[in-house]
Structure 1
Amino acid sequence: MIEQVQTQNIQLLNSSFDVLEILSKHSISGVEFDSSMRSSATRCHPGTRQSILQDIWYWLGDNQHVDRLLWLHGPAGAGKSTIIQTLAEDAESSDRLAASLFFSDSTTSGDENFIVATICYQIAVKISCYRDFLAERMRANPRILEKRLREQFNELIVRFFKENPNTELGSVRIILLDGLDELASLRHGDQSTMEQLLALIVHLHTITSAPFLWVISSRGEHSIRRALSTSQTGFTEWLVPADSVDDVTLYIQDSFSVIRQKYPNLIHPDWPSDGEVSMITTAAGGLFIYASTAIRFIDDPRRKNPITQFAHLLSLLDTTQANQLIDKVENPFLPLDRLYTRIMVHIHHSVLPDTLQLLGYALFKQDTMNAWTLVSASNVLAYERHTAYSALEQLGAVLEIPNVDQAEDKNFRIFHSSFAEYLLSPVRSGDFVLDMDKANTHVWWCYLRILQDANDTGPSMHIHSLYPIQFRSLLPRRTLAATCKHQPDLDPW
């Protein structure tokens, strides 16, 4: 069987187009800047972030580059991903983008094996001579994409520039890596993949004349700083501040203008007052994630009542909450926490346990689980559709909730990690804290329930036929095999 697959791969490698097809199958889906899986990603609001964008483009346009890597870092909610998204769109429109990878908390450890193939695929789409080189290398070794990260990088990227030192790639030379701190291995305490990737990037420009310019973004992780600092070549480092007051003010003012246009019969042209706008811009403190979350709360399409929503928000800003647990000195994101608390307060106490269970499922970080659509969550947690939607209906400002007709295919996800951090901190979220130990335990008990249901059906029953989702995407094969070993006739697949 293996020989047959290898023969098919070799046959496919007879054309550059087929090389792209094979690379595509070994690429991480949904990480490109224009992927449909990133449909909610936005570029910088017009007129904002102009200074840092101009600085980045100046750096990218400097023909006397000593450093080939620019590291943008800053706190959660500072707008790093939006800046990288804007760079990607503008670089693509000017034919300068070689590749873009946007990592997120849905990126798994398994995906990390495909980082090199993902970069190679995007470059090969644009550069025909590189496409031909990949065809040659993969024809010589059809299993190269199964090698470790270092071997793939050296064989498919470094080798090309060693063998073709004078190759001109034209203007295509910008590679963007966003959310490097979201690598699954790094989240689990393993720094090896991140350190190796950065070392390979830096080493590439030590031993070759590769024309690439890399822009990576992350929070200010000490591990990333250490990895870059140990390299023999330099890098440029810029902080993305979380206090862009003028930019956030412009964004908020423009957003209110859009809301007024959306509801001309409901909203007075003078709404809101300058004083009310000042209150929200002051509370945002230049933090884009606060401003965007506030606007989502005000313009919640499920409620269609921005005046009432804004009044709720103002009441939060006007008063000190009884359950406030930390003061501003201890928590610079206290205004954001207050907003998240206000959103959570609207969840009825009768459905709050279900809400927290669903949020726990969304944050469940086990590598063995790669399906977290709303349907999969409902099936695993044994919720009816109406129960799941009832539990989530108040969270439109912080959660992307698919429509009913998309619930089987689209993930439900938290808009920004700052909300997850709020939920996981008992000091910040108080009564709404999410105990992930309990959440993880509950999910695994649900898995065991599903397996027990399968066992109870008797021999020769396919487990995945019991539930209207792709069952194999929910449980690791080893878990199924171990659980079902007492029934040898039970076929989990």
Structure 2
Amino acid sequence: MGPKRRRDRFKAWFWGFFSSKDEMHFMPDGPRRGNSPNHTQNIRIDNAIHVQGDHNTVVRQDGQGDRNIVTQIMSLLSKHIIPGAAHDSSPRDPPPRCHPNTRVKLIARITAWIENQASLELLLWITGPAGVGKSAVVQTLAEYLAESKTLGASVFISRPNKRDNPHGVFITIAYQLATRIEAYRDYIVERLSRDPELLNGGMQAQFIAFIVEPFVEKKFGTGAKRWGILLDGLDELRGTDAQCEIIQTISTFAQEHRDAPLVWIIASRSESHIVNTFEDDEVRRSYWSEYIPIDSTEACEDVERFLRSRFKETRKKFRHTIHNDWPSDSDFLKLTVAASGLFIYAEVVMQFIRDPGYADPVSRLEVLLSVIDRFNAAPTEENPFVHLDALYSEILSSIPFTGLWPTTKLFLRVTINGEYIAGGVYFVEGVRYPFTLRGMSILFGITQNVIYASLDKCRSTLEIPEWKVAHKAVVAFHHASFSDFLGDPRRSGNFYIGTHSDTSSAIQMRVLEVWNKCSEDETSVASVKAMWYLYCSKSQEQTLSRAIKAFYTDLFHDTIHLLRFVVTDTLQEPERFPFVYESLQKVRMRMLCYLFEVWDVKHFVCGFMRLSPDSEGHRIGFLREVRLRDLEFGHLDWKEMSPAYARFKHGIIQEMVWKIHRPRSSTELKAFVSDLKSLQQHSPELKVAIVGGVPKEQVAVFYRNRLRRTYIVPYPE
């Protein structure tokens, strides 16, 4: 769908919002109108349950007053934001910001626009190539607005650091606005009390509820100073369609509601789809832009000013070993020419020189100058990163290629692509712990000392967490340009880390190996869990804290969740992952399914209902199709041979939730089997998939459409 068509569709919906005073109820399948329920000051939410991934967040009001419900709603909202995306979030500390006395003219133009209440445009697009300092400019603007008490929200998107979920953009903005504007917070509490499922809605539904309703219909802040909403790194947001939709949505609002007390700043690279969206005839009238070039006179002067300041700091820090005239004028000139106004190059240069692992800035500068001499080419418009790429290659070449590099490569590609599986098509929502530094250590069986040895040379490009927090912290990239370099074989050459599919195969294989190792000789869930804890602690410290033990449990549940993705997604195209499929044949499916949570049951069953044994035989021996009349249930029990179903409870919107049911007594089992036999009698031809490569560990899965139930029933043969 082209930009104009998407825009027209949104405008029709946008204006339809104002065609009636009836309240909009946003359901999962789109907006519907209806009468709003009556509300009193003390709102009671009896069954407001929101489901994300595998976690049910229950919001209840127990009569303790407004303060309690505000806390509950804000807590609910916080679970859906993009964590670490705010300008002052600790994961971004220290954030990139403009060095003193740099970008002075640019910042002055933008702040003057923000303060101009009569400005015709309420949207600014800051654009330019990677590494010119766009994020530093936006950070500086965010700090300026925060100091003047006019910052509404700031969202710093980062693809390599996994702050790139489009569903969380407007929720993050709403959360930050609610922390700063009391009237807005009261509105959000009331709005989400009535409709917590709004947090599952699409971006346009969220924009209507979080921006249009309060600032247009309710006229919050009209006549007062404008609040700034900053969105940095839009090009790093997951999905080009989502990027374009955000531009169109904000543009429409900025153009149609010039009296709203909001100004918007979007910063991004000049990607073709983003440029095309901004150049749409109607979008063009709603914004002004600032292009930040690489090699402008101002940029080169600013980079030189930055380098002089950093060298001065370095001389002061190492005053006992460095002369006051270091570096020489000729060496400094060589650096500034290589930088050619590219701020990211200057930043990486200084991180490289000041690397605490070497503590020898003079020698590091000599290495850097030799790299510049070897790549004696000036940056061009076609290849502005020639010296940056040479520096990245130099950093990685210090890692022993036949020794530690394979481990470094593995950790880098899992850090970048780890949460994307099946060739990058599916994003694993709700899985966090396997991709922390300690989680990767356990998953791939790599000891602490080898991990740090393999990553240590990359400290000028990576933020590597200390081991004491490695169970909850991930390896972070200082800048997206390094992950771009690693993922582009034309730039990285021998240091290319591979495709999403390569990463997917590595993760899938390893997850299956670990599961099969922990479950192959065990007959009970308790023994599998015991083997898991033994496996986790094998290469770890002897004395475990309570936090690490809890981490092992969380990692176990995340691994089960990940396994469900591996099973269903591998079966989509088994010929693409032949080695993974071979390991999949050994999985004890009954045991795995017994450990599923509600969302796993639902997606596991629905995934297999879309598949069928194919004529080429890729799934023969693992998946076959029968009818419900073929099943027998005499072998079931209410322990580990227990069946289960996930059920969608449908009532008023506050009661919409998936629940899992397993019989926990012989009486419950009897009722469960009776229900199965009744279904078998009424729907004997219902499609059933028999799943699993180990005959005694197979399961039968099927879907009961009328009641929206998904069943998993142990079916050993």
TM over 0.5: yes
The code of the aligned residue for 1:478 comes to R
The code of the aligned residue for 1:211 comes to P
1:241-260 equivalence runs, <5 A: 241-243=293-295, 244-260=299-315
The structure that is helix-richer by fraction is 1
Bigger drift between 53-62 and 219-228 goes to 219-228
The code of the aligned residue for 1:279 comes to K
Q: Relative contact order (alpha carbons < 8 A, sep ≥ 6): 1 or 2 greater?
A: 1
**Closer, same or farther: CA 148–284 of 1 in aligned 2, 3 Å:** same
CA deviations 1:269-311 (Å, max 9, x no partner) are 1111111111111111110110110111100011111111111
Partner residue of 1:212? 262
Q: Deviation of residue 107 (structure 1)?
A: 6.6
Partner residue of 2:508? 444
Q: Is the 8 A contact 1:455 1:490 kept in 2?
A: no
C-alpha distance in 1, partners of 2:93/2:143? Answer: 13
**Closer, same or farther: CA 150–107 of 1 in aligned 2, 3 Å:** farther
Partner residue of 1:44? 98
Could you tell me which of 283, 286, 296 is aligned with 2:341? 286
**Closer, same or farther: CA 488–291 of 1 in aligned 2, 3 Å:** closer
1:150-189 equivalence runs, <5 A: 150-165=204-219, 167-168=221-222, 170-186=224-240
C-alpha distance in 2, partners of 1:73/1:65? Answer: 20
**Closer, same or farther: CA 370–180 of 1 in aligned 2, 3 Å:** farther
Q: Deviation of residue 492 (structure 1)?
A: 5.4
CA deviations 1:380-427 (Å, max 9, x no partner) are 222111111111111111111122323222211222121222222222
Partner residue of 1:491? 595
Matched, 1:479 2:534: no
Partner residue of 1:307? 362
The structure that is strand-richer by fraction is 2
Matched, 1:274 2:337: no
Q: Is the 8 A contact 1:360 1:440 kept in 2?
A: no
Bigger drift between 455-464 and 153-162 goes to 455-464
**Closer, same or farther: CA 327–118 of 1 in aligned 2, 3 Å:** closer
C-alpha distance in 2, partners of 1:407/1:156? Answer: 36
**Closer, same or farther: CA 455–3 of 1 in aligned 2, 3 Å:** farther
Partner residue of 1:298? 353
> Runs ≥4 in structure 1, deviation > 6 angstroms?
none
**Closer, same or farther: CA 8–254 of 1 in aligned 2, 3 Å:** closer
C-alpha distance in 2, partners of 1:21/1:452? Answer: 38
**Closer, same or farther: CA 180–464 of 1 in aligned 2, 3 Å:** farther
Report the 3-state secondary structure (helix = DSSP H, G, I; strand = E; otherwise coil) of the residue aligned with 2:239.
helix
C-alpha distance in 2, partners of 1:464/1:173? Answer: 51
C-alpha distance in 2, partners of 1:43/1:413? Answer: 18
Q: Deviation of residue 480 (structure 1)?
A: 6.8
Bigger drift between 2-11 and 269-278 goes to 2-11
Matched, 1:99 2:203: no
CA deviations 1:116-145 (Å, max 9, x no partner) are 221112112222222222233223323322
**Closer, same or farther: CA 257–154 of 1 in aligned 2, 3 Å:** same
Matched, 1:435 2:498: yes
Partner residue of 1:4? 47
Q: Is the 8 A contact 1:480 1:492 kept in 2?
A: no
Partner residue of 2:651? none
Q: Deviation of residue 443 (structure 1)?
A: 2.1
C-alpha distance in 2, partners of 1:401/1:389? Answer: 8
C-alpha distance in 1, partners of 2:488/2:82? Answer: 31
**Closer, same or farther: CA 221–320 of 1 in aligned 2, 3 Å:** closer
The code of the aligned residue for 2:271 comes to E
Across the aligned residues of Structure 1 and Structure 2, the Cα RMSD in angstroms comes to 2.7
Partner residue of 1:454? 518
C-alpha distance in 1, partners of 2:512/2:159? Answer: 25
Q: Deviation of residue 435 (structure 1)?
A: 1.6
Bigger drift between 336-345 and 158-167 goes to 158-167
Q: Deviation of residue 236 (structure 1)?
A: 0.9
**Closer, same or farther: CA 251–425 of 1 in aligned 2, 3 Å:** same
1:64-79 equivalence runs, <5 A: 64-79=118-133
**Closer, same or farther: CA 100–421 of 1 in aligned 2, 3 Å:** same
Matched, 1:118 2:172: yes
Q: Deviation of residue 441 (structure 1)?
A: 1.8
Q: Deviation of residue 161 (structure 1)?
A: 2.7
Report the 3-state secondary structure (helix = DSSP H, G, I; strand = E; otherwise coil) of the residue aligned with 2:222.
coil
TM-score after normalising by structure 1: 0.90
Gaps of 5+ in 2: 1-44, 50-57, 421-426, 537-550, 569-586, 598-717
C-alpha distance in 2, partners of 1:180/1:270? Answer: 42
Partner residue of 1:335? 387
C-alpha distance in 2, partners of 1:131/1:319? Answer: 58
Q: Is the 8 A contact 2:160 2:416 kept in 1?
A: no
The code of the aligned residue for 2:390 comes to R
Could you tell me which of 347, 356, 363 is aligned with 2:409? 356
Q: Deviation of residue 111 (structure 1)?
A: 3.6
Q: Is the 8 A contact 2:463 2:475 kept in 1?
A: yes
C-alpha distance in 2, partners of 1:109/1:337? Answer: 24
Matched, 1:347 2:399: yes
Q: Is the 8 A contact 1:13 1:139 kept in 2?
A: no
The code of the aligned residue for 1:113 comes to H
Partner residue of 1:419? 482
Partner residue of 2:468? 405
**Closer, same or farther: CA 479–167 of 1 in aligned 2, 3 Å:** closer
Partner residue of 1:194? 243
**Closer, same or farther: CA 422–115 of 1 in aligned 2, 3 Å:** closer
CA deviations 1:196-254 (Å, max 9, x no partner) are 22222222234433110000101112222233333454211221122211010111111
Q: Is the 8 A contact 1:180 1:216 kept in 2?
A: yes
Matched, 1:145 2:199: yes
Q: Is the 8 A contact 2:48 2:196 kept in 1?
A: no
TM-score after normalising by structure 2: 0.63
**Closer, same or farther: CA 13–295 of 1 in aligned 2, 3 Å:** farther
Q: Which structure has the larger Rg over C-alpha atoms?
A: 2
Report the 3-state secondary structure (helix = DSSP H, G, I; strand = E; otherwise coil) of the residue aligned with 2:230.
strand
Q: Deviation of residue 327 (structure 1)?
A: 8.8
In percent, how many aligned pairs have the same letter? 30
C-alpha distance in 2, partners of 1:220/1:311? Answer: 35
Q: Deviation of residue 312 (structure 1)?
A: 0.6
Bigger drift between 61-70 and 364-373 goes to 364-373
Q: Is the 8 A contact 2:160 2:476 kept in 1?
A: no
**Closer, same or farther: CA 229–330 of 1 in aligned 2, 3 Å:** closer
Matched, 1:222 2:272: yes
C-alpha distance in 2, partners of 1:13/1:151? Answer: 29
Q: Is the 8 A contact 2:81 2:171 kept in 1?
A: yes
**Closer, same or farther: CA 314–361 of 1 in aligned 2, 3 Å:** same
Q: Deviation of residue 24 (structure 1)?
A: 2.1
Q: Is the 8 A contact 1:484 1:490 kept in 2?
A: no
C-alpha distance in 2, partners of 1:28/1:166? Answer: 25
C-alpha distance in 2, partners of 1:53/1:69? Answer: 16
**Closer, same or farther: CA 382–312 of 1 in aligned 2, 3 Å:** same
C-alpha distance in 1, partners of 2:161/2:359? Answer: 34
**Closer, same or farther: CA 3–453 of 1 in aligned 2, 3 Å:** farther
Q: Deviation of residue 485 (structure 1)?
A: 2.2
Gaps of 5+ in 1: none
Bigger drift between 100-109 and 271-280 goes to 100-109
**Closer, same or farther: CA 286–139 of 1 in aligned 2, 3 Å:** same
